[in-house]
Structure 1
Amino acid sequence: MKKAWLLALLLALGGAQAAVEIHDDRGALVTLPQPPRRIVSLLPSLTETVCALGACERLVGVDNYSNWPAAVQPLPHVGGLEDASIERIVALQPDLVLLSTSSRALGRLEGLGVRVAALEPRTLADVRRVMGKVGQLLGSGEAARVMAGIEAGVDAAARELPPALRGTTVYFEVNSAPYAASEVSFIGELLARVGAANVVPGRLGPFPKLNPEFVVRADPQVIMVSDRHAQAMRDRPGWAGIRALRDGRVCMFTAQQGDVLVRPGPRMAEAAQLMVHCLRGELKGRPR
């Protein structure tokens, strides 16, 4: 009887220690009785973070844009930011849904009693914070190690940029509207870390929609753009005279490279490496 009581006490204490609790990016308290075993992620950067922390096998569903690592590709894909399928998510019986603060699914899932954590990395500091919070939720002690690896990788990439190229002016286009990455976006912060100078000031917001004339006046030495958006530049008035286009210093990233660059998460060191390769002239193209 005494042994049974002691075992019950130890189990109770073990359960108490396994409980996890964080405040998400809304300031909402997220409490779980134990680390989740069935997770749905509705943001690619959060999907990649879960996997980087060694918990890929806990994912039972992801958004339509989560495609890395390869292990997530066969999983059920349940929609995106605006059109996540509540029915499909609920049917997966998740212990936790990870999503952005702007996800339309957030309120509906909470209304159905599904536990959610809204986490949205937008800056390098956010990536560190979100990595730590996801690590807490998972009961993982890997967050500090993973972040240290990211930071070391970014620093290593920066050391590969020759001093003569430091201060190169860059325009980074994220969408052909055109929307650009400014100095205060995580992309802008990475550009600064590797030694480039962003022509889009932070006062315009992280990802401002620009008048194309703004870029003509800024006259960047290098343009970074996804190859899916690059062709739109050829028809913009005055752009043929921009130094980057005139000198053929336009880096047109593949769709896979573009995913690396625009996701604030575990692959930021790889993103920094791509930026440095571009600045060194190893990734060039010319819109036709």
Structure 2
Amino acid sequence: MSWALLAAPAAQAHAVRDQQGRTVEMARVPQRIVSLLPSATESLCALGACSRLVGVDAFSNHPPEIAALPRLGSVSAPHFEAIVRLKPDVVLMSHSPPLMARLAQFGIAVVVLDAQDLAGIRAQWQVLDSLLQQQRGDDLFARLQAELGRIAAGMRQLPARRVYFEIDATPYAAGPASFIGELLAALGASNIVAPAQGAFARLTPEYVVRQNPQLIIHTAETSARDLAQRPGWAATDAVREGMICSLGRADTDLVSRPGPRLAEAAAVLARCLQLAPR
């Protein structure tokens, strides 16, 4: 018998096209994965590959299975040496040319994920399926859509409200083309952000006052007191009638991550829309 037959087969090269349209080549199907995006961490686990994670960003806090993994900072402030020491096959992250270039110097592959709307979430799961050489993403997305439809059906009797969803005090808002905006629309809300302003928009405080929202939903990055103290905002229907829905940290995480828990996020938004004026 020849030694060639006894030798272990070499790992096959693997390539995937990420959400930036880049073809990313790897020496093998990834077994050691670093995620620098909470949504990617959650998505990878929902697709059955949690065990392949060897490190995550500082903000990844779900599911519980990742609790003991090394924390590696963030895309904007990475713990670079720690990432390199983990010898990942691939790093999942948002687009950051400086970090991507540094990782490339060490031969570490990068897959860029960028899901801004529901279609982008489905595409993200398809990229991860390709990365993992499996086919689970479409089924996961179908289950998500079914659950979103069920939640939306329970909201049909509520009147439509003009809603302002504030991400931070810039003010930075979720527009109708974002996954947050799509959830709000499915639940019957009318977004004060114009479609032309993009998925996520930086607004002027005066713009919000002119649009006169009937409901303000804000994340844990701001407070209801701050909103009421902004010039002119006390005259808006939302502030005057106490129609402010304040999200805590856990709900902020749910609603702000384009991942597998979006049905739970929709339930949070539905509770906000069910508020009654005081």
TM-score relative to the length of structure 2: 0.92
Of the three residues 27, 35, 45, the one matched with 2:39 is: 45
Cα displacement string for residues 45-81 of structure 1 (whole angstroms, at most 9, x for unaligned residues): 1111111101111111111111111222221111112
Q: Which secondary structure state, in structure 2, belongs to the residue aligned with residue 229 of structure 1?
A: coil
Counterpart contact for 1:224–1:253, Cα < 8 Å: yes
After TM superposition, give the deviation of residue 205 of structure 1 in Å: 2.2
After superposition, what is the alpha-carbon deviation per residue over 1:140-174, rounded to whole angstroms, capped at 9, x for unaligned? 32212211111111111101103232x22110000
Question: Are residues 88 and 227 of structure 1, via their aligned partners in 2, closer, same or farther at CA, if it must alter by over 3 Å?
Answer: closer
> 2:154 aligned with 1:154, yes or no?
no
Task: Report the Cα distance in structure 2 between the residues aligned to 1:228 and 1:23, rounded to whole angstroms.
Answer: 34
* 2:234 corresponds to which of 240, 254, 273: 240
Amino acid at match of 2:237: R
The correspondence for 2:122, drawn from 121, 125, 128, is 128
Distance 1:114 1:245 in 2: 50
CA pair 103-254 structure 1, distance change in 2 beyond 3 A: farther
Q: 1:189 corresponds to which letter in structure 2?
A: E
For 1:253 and 1:272, how far apart are their aligned partners in 2? 13
The answer for unaligned runs of 5 or more in structure 1 is: none
Any idea what SS the aligned residue of 1:83 has?
A: coil
Percent of aligned pairs with the same amino acid: 41
Deviation at 1:8, TM superposition (A): 7.5
Inter-CA distance 103–172: structure 2 relative to 1 (3 Å threshold)? farther
Q: Which has the higher helix share?
A: 1
Asked if structure 2 preserves the Cα contact closer than 8 Å seen for 1:62 and 1:75, the reply is yes
Q: Which of 171, 191, 206 is matched with 2:199 structurally?
A: 206
How far did residue 34 of structure 1 move? 3.2
Write the mapping of 1:94-243 to structure 2, written as runs, cut at 5 A. Answer: 94-102=88-96, 104-165=98-159, 167-230=160-223, 231-243=225-237
Deviation at 1:109? 0.2
**Would the alpha carbon gap of residues 147 and 28 (structure 1) be closer, same or farther in structure 2, given more than 3 Å must change?**
same
- Is 1:87 the counterpart of 2:106? The answer is no
Q: Given the alignment, which residue of 61, 66, 80 partners 2:55?
A: 61
State the AA in 2 paired with 1:53: L
**Structure 1 length as normaliser, TM-score?**
0.89
Structure 1 residue runs of 4 or more that deviate by more than 6 Å after TM superposition? none
Paired positions, count: 276
Give the whole-Å Cα distance in 1 for the aligned partners of 2:208 and 2:97. 31
SS in 1 for 2:200: coil
Root-mean-square deviation (CA, aligned residues, Å) is: 2.2
